Amino acid sequence: MDINNHIKKVLFTEPEINERCIELASELDKEYEDKKPIMLSLLKGSVPFATMLTKHMKISLEFDYMKASSYHGTISSGNVAVTLMPSLKLENRHVVIIEDIIDTGTTLSTVTKILQDLHPASLEIVTLLDKPAMRKVNDIKPKYVGFIVPNEFVVGFGLDFNEDYRHLPYVGVLKEEMYK
Active site (catalytic) residues: 103
Q: Which of 21, 153, 172, 178 binds ligand XMP (CB under 6 A)?
A: 153
Q: Which residues contact 116 (CB under 8 A, 6 or more apart)?
A: 123
Considering only CA atoms, give the Rg of the chain. 16
Q: In the complex with ligand XMP, which residue's Cβ is closer, 21 or 140?
A: 140
- Binding part of the chain for ligand XMP, among 14-22, 23-31, 48-56, 156-164 by CB under 6 A, reads 156-164
Provide the minimum distance between the beta carbon of 59 and Mg ion in the complex, in angstroms, as a whole number.
26
- Helices 14-31 and 47-54, axial angle in degrees (round to 10): 60
Provide the minimum distance between the beta carbon of 109 and ligand XMP in the complex, in angstroms, as a whole number.
8
- Binding part of the chain for ligand XMP, among 8-16, 27-35, 81-89, 158-166 by CB under 6 A, reads 158-166
Contact status: 105 vs ligand XMP (CB under 6 A): yes
Q: Which residues contact 177 (CB under 8 A, 6 or more apart)?
A: none
In eight-state DSSP terms, residue 29 is H
Q: In the complex with Mg ion, which residue's Cβ is closer, 18 or 69?
A: 69
Asked if the bond preceding 44 is cis, omega within 30° of 0, the reply is yes
- Binding part of the chain for ligand XMP, among 5-13, 29-37, 47-55, 148-156 by CB under 6 A, reads 148-156
Contact status: 159 vs ligand XMP (CB under 6 A): yes
Selection from Mg ion, ligand XMP, none that 123 binds (CB < 5 to 8 A by kind) is: none
Where does this chain bind Mg ion (CB under 5 A)?
Answer: 45
Q: Which residues contact 178 (CB under 8 A, 6 or more apart)?
A: 6, 161
For residue 21, give the H/E element and its range. Answer: helix 14-31
Q: Which residues contact 88 (CB under 8 A, 6 or more apart)?
A: 38, 62, 64
Contact status: 107 vs ligand XMP (CB under 6 A): yes
Q: Where does this chain bind ligand XMP (CB under 6 A)?
A: 45, 70-71, 76, 100-107, 153-155, 159-161
